[in-house]
Each structure stands twice: as structure tokens, then as C-alpha cells.
A and B are shown apart, each in its own frame.
Chain A
Amino acid sequence: MSLAAPAVKPGMSRDDLMMRGGVVLLAGVLLVMLGLPLWSLLAKGFEDRDGKFIGLANYVSYFSTPALFQSALNSLQVASITTVIVVPLAFLYAYALTRTVLPMRWLFQGISLIPIFAPSLLPGLALIYLFGTQGFFKALLGSGSIYGIDGIVIAQVFYCFPHATLILTTALATSDARLYEAADVLGASKRRVFFTVTLPGAKYGLISAALVVFTLVMTDFGIAKVIGGNFNVLATDVYKKVIGQQDFSMGAVVGMVLLAPAALAFLVDRLVQRKQVALLTARAVPLVPRPKLGRDLFFTLFCAAVSAAILTILGMAIWGSLIKYWPYNLSLTLDNYDFARFDANGWESYWNSVRMALGAAVFGTVLMFTGAWLNEKTRGFGAMRGVVQFLAFLPMAVPGLVLGLGYIFFFNAPNNPLNFLYATMGILVLNTVAHFYTVGHLTATTALKQIDPEFEAVSASLKVPIWKTFVRVTAPICLPAILDIAIYLFVNAMTTVSSVIFLYAPDTKLASVAAVNIEEAGTTAAAAALCVVIVLTSAAVKAAHLVADRFLFARLQVWRRR
């Protein structure tokens, strides 16, 4: 061994400088969109109502209130039950979609997405039509009531089902056919194949799905508020403190508590995801299911039953939007779609929503994809990239109410140079993109991980700047993922309520907020009508995406054909 040679400090190319600059900029943007607004609310947890710093006193008083402790238990209970129901259901559905020969597969796949298109008000209203005191199937509940944990769980299952199904469909679709052939050759029984190959293969998908569902249920207050009855959960506690009593300090405390389990869930998810990368090899052979009568029949019936349940809920909402006065005058009318009768803004709020959703889709997709690319492809710079990664994961764990209030405190501060954004469409776009950042970021990151990691090395060796390769190669290859992110943002922007309810201005009221207002005013039918319009809009956008995918992009993407 020679004497230790001097350590090499690798020099930086223009590419490196640009990428690092980009990561710093991205971290700055995320800090402004997420970190600082959140902090400006959560910091109130350490102040009394007059803004004086009181340390942990609010936390002490929170944890010494048994009622609030009960809410935490209730939250955990609802989240656990929902997870235990949704994940197996979604697994079977995803299994049917990927591993069996299903007639009209595209239809079943489409139906499974419907709940994502619906504001969370919709299942609540539909369930009241179905199982409420005057409901059609009230008898099914016996002496029970839909108001309370049963109702919350049913509505949450509806709401979370597509999220879990999407994750599990991806997990099952990427399994390697060669493993099944090997198991077949070895004469393993179907049961054994399922438990030794199928389940372990989807293990990480199952864990992800469970964590996502759990977090969604923990942070959602819309469903609990409409149908929760006396069943208190943490998210409704935030609502009580903030909306009922304008007590931001205690609201911040509950928000912080709510952050804990959700943040923990995502820590687990990250650990799991890291291990998963090694599992997938480039040479895996896609599995093409072969027809098998008994199995296919069973799964067709299963999917039909689940689809029927989803369509029943949607159908109830549509029917409910067409009746005159539930339950005493069931004659049909289209008057409920004349929104000007129920809300001064009329259809205007709908067009605001469309505008906002388009803005969020464009701005958010550019930010999320470019951001994920910067964070994936920057050499070194681990600490800053870690900060970005953390900020990108944060919003999934943040209840919308908390984020929305944080936006007021941060963006409306008189000394904030960005306060010109306040009360504009811009802040709604920013807030929505921030609120749904995690999933878009994850989608982009996954897509980027799937393409050859050496593209950047090749372009460096050819002296082509990295951004050129981004524009000419990386982005075009990831076009499907980019469109997925855009659609995801559009759809969620159409339905989001909890955060933007604090941020809209006279000219920028949104349809999803209007629906909540109309429902609160007792005009359930009109609220249902607005929900239906939102569902149809999102479904139409998704359908347009599928059609475009089939005919238009197929032409742009000839290179994918073998």
C-alpha cells in the first residue's frame, strides 16, 4: 500500500451545476408550497389563543382530555377496519384484472375507478338514500343505523377501493411469468403457487396499498362529517376545533397528532419501496393468463358484484339528483341541475373548477415530473435530495384542513412577498398541487426508475447536455406516466374540498365547495347533481385519455412496437 493518496474532490460539470441548482430551486418551491405553510399553522400549537408562546401546554391539555384520546382510538379503529376490508377486496379485483380471462376487462377496470372521480360527499349522500331511515335497503341493517362507524366504513371502502386496486394491479401486473412456469413444472398445487409465488410477489404492493388506505382514512373528515354520527375521529376533532370554535392552537395540536401515525406509515412505505427495486428484473416475462372456466366464472361474478355495488352508489346519486323532494315527492325533474337556484355562482363555480383542475394538471405535472427527474438524476448532493424527498412525502399525511389554514397564515402574512397570490386562482392551483404532491411524485419517480439508468452516462460521454436528453428522450419515454399524473391531478382538483374551502375568493369558488354548501343548505338533490356533474367530467377526461392513448399516442409511440 502506498501512502494514502489525496482524496479526490470530483469537479462539477455544467450539468451537475444545473441539476443541483434545480434541486435547490425545487426544495425552495416545496418549502414555499408545503413546508412553511404547514409550519405556520403547526407552530400555533405552541401558542395560546392570543399568540403567546406557551410551549407544550396545549399538548398537555390535549392528552389529558379523555374524549380526544377516544377520538384517536376511533380513528385507528376505522382506519384498521377499512384497511382490512379494502385490501383483500382490491386484491381479488386486481387479481381478476391481471391474472384471469375476464370478459370486458376494460369496463371492469373503468368502473373500479369511478369512486376516485367522486367528491367524498357523493358516497355519503348515496348511502343515506340507500340505508338511511327512509332508505331503500334500510331493512338490511336490521336495528342498526348507517350513521356511525358502519356508515363511515362503507363510505371509506367505496372511496379507498380504487386507490388500493390501482396499486395492486400494478404489483400483480409486474410479476414474472417464469416463476409460475417453474412452479407448474414442479407440480405445485394451485394453493401452494398462490401462497409461495403470487402473494410474496405482491407483498410490497399489499403493504403499500394497506398504508395508503390507512392514511387516507385517518386524514379524511368529509365522510366522517356527513355520515359519522356521534363517532368522533381525529379529523372531525380538527374540524370542531377549527371550524366550530376557531381555536387554531388546539386544531394545530390535533393536526400534529394526526401527522404522527400517517408519517410513520410512510416511513414504513419508504423502507419497503427501497427493497422492492431489486425484485424486478428487466428480463421478467409478462404473464398472459390462459382461459380456465371455473376460475374465470368465479372472478367474473366477483367483479360484477363489486362493480354493481359501485354503480349502485353512483346510480343512487344520479337518481337522487333527479328527484323533487326526498323522500316525500319522488317525481323526476332536471331543476336540480340549474345550480343558479341554489348558489349565487351557479354553473360558474363548475367552470372555475375545470379551470383550476386544468391549471393544477399543467403546473403540477411539469413540477412533479421535472422535480422527480432532478431528484433522481442529480449526482451526489444527498442531503438536499433527502430534504426534497421528505417534503414530497409530507402531504399524504397532512389533512387538507391543516394545509388550507396554513396557507392562509403563510400566504396572507403582510410581509410575505408572495401574498399577491392570495385569493387568486393561483393559490388554489398551488394548494391543490401541494396537497396531492406525493402520489404524482411517486408515479414520476417509479417511471424514471424503470428506464435505463445509463442514458445520462451515455449523453455525458457524447457531450450532450443532460437537459437535452431529458427533453428528447426521458420525457417522451415517460409520456404515459406524465399523462397519468396530469389526469390524477385533474380528477383530484375537481373533487378536493377540505383545503381549498379556506382559500377561494369571490371569483374563484369551486364546484366541490359549492356542493358542500348546497348540501349544508339542505338541498341534497342539487348537491347530488353537482357531484354527478363532477363525476361525469372526470370520467369524460379519463375516457378521452384512454381514447387518445389508443389512437393518437399509438401513432406518436410507434417505437414501442416490436
Chain B
Amino acid sequence: MANYLEVRSLSKQFGTFTALGDVSLDVIEGEFVCFLGPSGCGKTTLLRAIAGLDPQTSGTIRQKGRDVSALPPAQRDFGIVFQSYALFPNLSVADNVGYGLVNRRQNKGAIARRVAELLVLVGLPDAGPKYPAQLSGGQQQRVALARALATSPGLLLLDEPLSALDARVRLRLRHEIKALQRTLGVTTIMVTHDQEEALTMADRIVVMNHGAIEQVGTPQEIYRRPATAFVADFVGSMNFLAGTLMAPDRVRVAGVDFACPVQDGLAPGQKVSLCIRPEDVRVRDLPADIANRVPVEVAELDFVGAFCRATLKARATSDVSVTADFSSNLIRDLGVDIGTKLDIALPPDRVRIFA
């Protein structure tokens, strides 16, 4: 598949502050890419550079083979949706959606047909004569989406489009946007700080921190095989246990050795973190010879709905603790409560080691 967008060595300075440092990235035609990271990580800066709204200090951007690095936004090919919707409040929904069409000197009938089509597409067939203020937040964001798509841009840019909406609307729109994107096949970049959003919507996720890319990968790759401690921590929940690498496949934590996948890049003796996700901690049916067994005591139990998040203290040393997700079934079956003593295992294939 062809690269639709090629970003090479992009840097952006604000005075002495480096907002983006030497970022390179490819986006394939038709894919849905999410820029994910905490606020201030440079994800919006990267998006605005791609749009040409805040041009980069150095580096190149090619869109469909065309070097757009120095082009102003109006000469690039994209549609954009902002967190604030940026709908024109004094124009009707139909006029908003048709805003970019009117300028193309199409006849009125054609414009009206296209606007109606787009409003059907975003599920608001009757909203045309209304004004933005008469719509809910979710509806307004749909109108913004229709407006951005009206001119059939090759690239759709979404800047935190769901952040201003309440939780239920956000959930519904996630699916709608994803479905729409799949139907239209438009290459899409979305900026978000919400990992769940990124995981459910994106074909690929670009995790960013401090103006640099930490990892690029599918949601599964990002979640299962985080490339850096930052990604491991930022995406999903993760236990971090401080230890020392004893051998390429052994880590010592609080005097106890744990098996782990073979580490090539790290030298024995190095301080490392042993990481495991709470849902990967095993409790049930532990075989007698299971690796990485730890006797623990339940210190806290937080009800989260579908499951409980338990804080488990190692019985040997009280300064090592691990959180684990226990299903309601498990809690009932094992009679888990605060103070319960039990054994857990950290499956070596689920353990990740970061320097």
C-alpha cells in the first residue's frame, strides 16, 4: 500500500522550547491514525503542521507524493474538525455544511443535494434549517464532520473531536466516526489524549511524548508490546516493580528472582522495571511448578463495576505491591476479601522489562 503522507525530520521550535524534535512518520492511504499522548506532547503541533496552520521550523511533509512543506493551508488538501466544533454560529446547519461548496461555483441545486447527502451521512437529515446553537454538542460535532467532508478532501484531520462531549455521546460518536471513515475510505488523522478512544478507533496509533514519537503500531501492538516504559504506563494500567537484571532472562525484585523474556539490549546488573498489566496477573488454578509465584495478602479492593482492582502486598516484603484485576466470579469463588492471603503468578510471557 502506498504512503499517503510522509513526514520527515519535522521539528518545531517555539523560541527555545522544542515542541517537535525530528519527527518522521508515514501514513498509508485510507488508514485511520491516532496521535496519542499527554497534553503538551506535541500531537496537536504535529497535526497543525500537517495542516499548514502552524508551519514546522524544519523538515518536510509530502502528501500523495507532493511536497507540501511550505504550502499555506489553503493550498493543501484536507478537511478539519476541532474540539470546539468551530461551527459558524450565524449560519444555518445547511449553510455551514455547504460553506466550502458555495465557493466552488457549483449550482445551487447541486450544493443542496450534496448538503442533504452529507446530513444523511452523519445522521442529521432534518437539521439543515436549524442553527448550531439549537443542536446538542454531539449533533454539532456531526455537522462539523459533514462540513469537513463536504469538499471530499483526501485527508481528514480531527483535533480532539470528542473531548468536549459527555461520556455516552462520546462512545456513540466513536463508532459512528470510525464507521463513516471506513465507508468513505478517507485517510484520517485524529489527535486524542484518551487512550481508550485511540485503541478503539485507530488502525494505527502514534504515541508521542515530549515532542517525539515513542511508538507507532496497531492498538494490539501498543497495548501488548509497549516499546517504552512511557507507552507501557500511558496506555492501559501497568505494574512497575523496581529490580535488577541478573541474567538475560532473570530479574531480581526485592530479593526474589523472576523469569522474564530474554533481554538482548540490557546488561546484567542494570536497574530495570519489571512490568505486568493487572489483568495478566494469574490467581486461579496455579500449577505447583508455575514460574514467578508470589504469596500475597489483599490490602485493598476497589470495586470498578465489571471487576475489582485489588492491591496485593507481597507477604515476604511489604514494600512490594502489585495491582491485579479480579473478576466478580473469581472474588466469589475464592472468597477474596481484604486480608485474604493467596498466591499469584506473573506469567513470564506477559512480563515486560524496561531499563
Contacts and interface: CB of A to CB of B under 8 A. Distances in A.
A5 interface: yes
A458 B80 contact: yes
A50 interface: no
B180 to A, nearest CB: 18
A462 B55 contact: no
A2 B9 CA distance: 7
A15 to B, nearest CB: 6
A1 B133 contact: no
A8 B56 contact: yes
A282 B164 CA distance: 11
A463 B69 CA distance: 18
Contact of A455 (B51, B86, B100): B86
B103 A468 contact: yes
A550 interface: no
A473 B91 contact: yes
A5 B21 CA distance: 11
B70 A460 contact: no
B153 A461 contact: yes
Interface string B80-102: 10101010111100000001101
Interface in B48-89: 51-53, 55-60, 69-75, 78-80, 82, 84, 86, 88-89
A290 B122 CA distance: 42
Contacts of B10: 5
Interface in B1-43: 8-11, 21-22
A16 interface: yes
Contacts of A455: 86, 88
Contact of B133 (A454, A458, A468, A560): A560
B278 interface: no
Most interface-central of B10, B88, B134 (chain A CB within 10 A): B88
A8 B72 contact: no
Contacts of A12: 72
A477 B80 contact: no
B133 A561 contact: yes
A559 interface: yes
Given A9-B70, A16-B72, A558-B131, A282 B153 contact: no
Contact of A15 (B11, B74, B84, B150): B74
A559 B89 contact: yes
Most interface-central of A16, A465, A469, A472 (chain B CB within 10 A): A472
B93 to A, nearest CB: 11
A452 B84 contact: yes
Interface string B134-175: 100000000000011011010001000000000000000000
A292 interface: no
Contacts of A462: 79, 99-100, 103, 147, 150-151
Contacts of B55: 8, 10
Interface string A7-50: 11111111110000000000000000000000000000000000
B132 interface: yes
Contacts of B86: 452, 454-455, 457-458
A417 B153 CA distance: 51
A540 interface: no
A325 B34 CA distance: 83
Contacts of B102: 464
Main SS class of interface, B: mixed
Given A4-B58, A8-B59, A15-B72, A457 B80 contact: yes
Most interface-central of B56, B59, B72, B134 (chain A CB within 10 A): B72
Nearest to A2: B9
A393 to B, nearest CB: 24
B72 A460 contact: yes
Contacts of A110: none
Nearest to A477: B90
B9 A13 contact: no
A72 B150 CA distance: 64
Contact of A459 (B84, B89, B99): B99
A459 B103 CA distance: 10
A458 B59 contact: no
A472 B102 CA distance: 12
Contacts of A14: 74
Interface residues of A, number: 40
Contacts of A476: 90
Contact of A5 (B8, B90, B103, B147): B8
A6 interface: yes
A468 B104 CA distance: 13
A339 B259 CA distance: 104
B89 A477 contact: yes
Given A5-B58, A473-B88, A560-B133, A463 B72 contact: no
Contacts of A8: 55-60, 69-70
B132 A559 contact: yes
B72 A5 contact: no
A292 B317 CA distance: 61
Contacts of A460: 52-53, 72-74
A190 interface: no
B151 to A, nearest CB: 6
Contacts of B52: 10, 460
A6 B9 CA distance: 10
Interface in A520-562: 557-562
Given A6-B58, A454-B86, A461-B80, A11 B153 contact: no
Contacts of B21: 1
A559 B104 CA distance: 26
A458 B53 CA distance: 10
A296 B57 CA distance: 58
A2 B70 CA distance: 20
Given A2-B9, A5-B60, A463 B151 contact: yes
A557 B53 CA distance: 31
A12 B55 CA distance: 11
A279 B103 CA distance: 37
A458 B89 CA distance: 13
Interface string A76-117: 000000000000000000000000000000000000000000
A301 B91 CA distance: 45
Nearest to A558: B131
Given A13-B74, A458-B80, A461-B153, A472 B88 contact: yes
Contacts of B80: 454, 457-458, 461
B73 A454 contact: no
B99 A11 contact: no
Interface string A400-428: 00000000000000000000000000000
A461 B103 contact: no
B118 to A, nearest CB: 13
Contact of B131 (A5, A10, A559): A559
A504 B11 CA distance: 59
Contacts of A15: 72, 74
B51 A562 contact: no
B53 A457 contact: yes
Nearest to A461: B80
A469 to B, nearest CB: 8
Contact of B73 (A7, A461, A465, A473): A461
B73 A464 contact: no
A477 B90 CA distance: 7
Contacts of B133: 559-562
A561 B135 CA distance: 11
Nearest to A380: B55
Contacts of B104: 463
Given A13-B74, A458-B82, 17 more contacts: A4-B58, A8-B59, A11-B70, A11-B72, A13-B75, A282-B84, A457-B53, A457-B80, A459-B99, A461-B51, A461-B74, A461-B79, A463-B151, A468-B103, A472-B88, A559-B131, A559-B133
Interface of A: 1-2, 4-16, 282, 452, 454-455, 457-465, 468-469, 472-473, 476-477, 557-562
5 contacts: A10-B52, A455-B86, A457-B73, A464-B103, A562-B134
A-B pairs, 10 with minimum CB distance: A462-B100, A13-B72, A10-B55, A460-B73, A454-B86, A5-B9, A559-B131, A11-B70, A5-B58, A473-B88
